[in-house]
Structure 1
């Protein structure tokens, strides 16, 4: 792990896929510090709107479960601090990063982490494979899911995937792929988002 800085594996559950209209319902963060310490944190988030039944069926997160949860605004400082000073790593990272970017913008914060997408990383390292979704990675790499479509469990799967890559890939191959794929996203916040 020495060649890399603090790694922050992130997963969100949301009310849907629309960055402007949908909201976060759960955040999971697995932070791996330079000394190897692993810190896990998660929270339900009250989205301030109903969770569609399809999403409730997919995630198992119901309106009742988030009714008394904190709003994103009330935990924004904590989340912002947990995402600071590290590489933001997520599966289909533009989705998670985009939702957090918009959520932070509504509270007057800015998300400015560099981002690494594990879908793109998997494609780069295993170009012969056609599928790179999380269920496929679980099967292909023998990852052990605690649950699926739950934020902390899915973030932990990304940490497991990373560990497999560190152990099994030549270090130079992994390092070069990470260097090539890491980026600082440029999201514009729509003017109709209330701040």
Structure 2
């Protein structure tokens, strides 16, 4: 693990789990720069289709809330810039990276970030534990949620989890785990549904 690289904690809310047919409704990014500066950014995204009632109930994001929001096309340049030059970190990162990969592809952009999954990181560092979803990590590590299933709040939880690891574990242990788990761009295979430990 590079000692001073930019860390980019990412969470998305979407209309469903299908990477091809569903769309993003909210993006949350917490970027931690090498000098320690923290930059938070979030936006609703108009998905161009109704949000299923189940998803509205889970996230609290309604059709009315995204009606006046920009489309992903309109946000693509800003999001792409915010994801550049850093390690993309998400919980079940394949899901979030996959949605962004497909969304960018539809706008003519390419997403080529290295990626780290915090589900896999938790499993590697705490192999004795059976569950690694975000609600479990909140309780296990004393994280403080501002909300759940909202993009920026969940991205902030991942940063809190990272901070807890850095404070409580030997640096070499974290470095070895991250080096083992980080994946380079181009890893993404055809669309798949998210893992059960997503959030």
User: Which TM class, normalised by the smaller chain length?
Assistant: over 0.9
CA distance, structure 2, for counterparts of residue 20 and residue 2 of structure 1:
34
CA distance, structure 2, for counterparts of residue 22 and residue 161 of structure 1:
28
Q: Report the alpha carbon displacement of residue 186 of structure 1 after superposing the two structures with TM.
A: 2.4
1:5 alignment counterpart: 5
Q: Contact (CA 8 Å) 1:2, 1:34: kept in 2 or not?
A: no
**Alignment TM-score, normalising by the size of structure 2:** 0.93
2:128 alignment counterpart: 128
- The reply to whether residue 107 of structure 1 matches residue 107 of structure 2 is yes
Q: Report the alpha carbon displacement of residue 187 of structure 1 after superposing the two structures with TM.
A: 2.6
CA distance, structure 1, for counterparts of residue 11 and residue 153 of structure 2:
9
Partner deviation per Cα, 1:121-154 (whole Å, 9 max, x = no partner): 0000000000000000000000000000000000
**Alignment TM-score, normalising by the size of structure 1:** 0.95
Q: Secondary structure of 2:31's match?
A: strand
Farther off after superposition, 178-187 or 41-50: 178-187
Matching of residues 37-76 of structure 1 within 5 Å: 37-76=37-76
Matching of residues 81-160 of structure 1 within 5 Å: 81-160=81-160
CA distance, structure 2, for counterparts of residue 126 and residue 188 of structure 1:
28
Q: Secondary structure of 2:28's match?
A: strand
RMSD: 1.4
Structure 2, gaps ≥5 residues long: 192-199
Q: Report the alpha carbon displacement of residue 3 of structure 1 after superposing the two structures with TM.
A: 1.4
1:193 alignment counterpart: none
CA distance, structure 2, for counterparts of residue 131 and residue 187 of structure 1:
25
CA distance, structure 2, for counterparts of residue 84 and residue 107 of structure 1:
17
CA distance, structure 2, for counterparts of residue 4 and residue 128 of structure 1:
30
Q: Contact (CA 8 Å) 1:102, 1:189: kept in 2 or not?
A: no
Aligned residues: 190
Structure 1, gaps ≥5 residues long: 191-195
CA distance, structure 2, for counterparts of residue 117 and residue 46 of structure 1:
26
CA distance, structure 2, for counterparts of residue 59 and residue 104 of structure 1:
23
CA distance, structure 2, for counterparts of residue 137 and residue 188 of structure 1:
28
CA distance, structure 1, for counterparts of residue 37 and residue 90 of structure 2:
19
Structure 1 runs (4+) greater than 2 angstroms displaced: 185-190
1:172 alignment counterpart: 172
Q: Report the alpha carbon displacement of residue 188 of structure 1 after superposing the two structures with TM.
A: 5.1
CA distance, structure 1, for counterparts of residue 38 and residue 25 of structure 2:
23
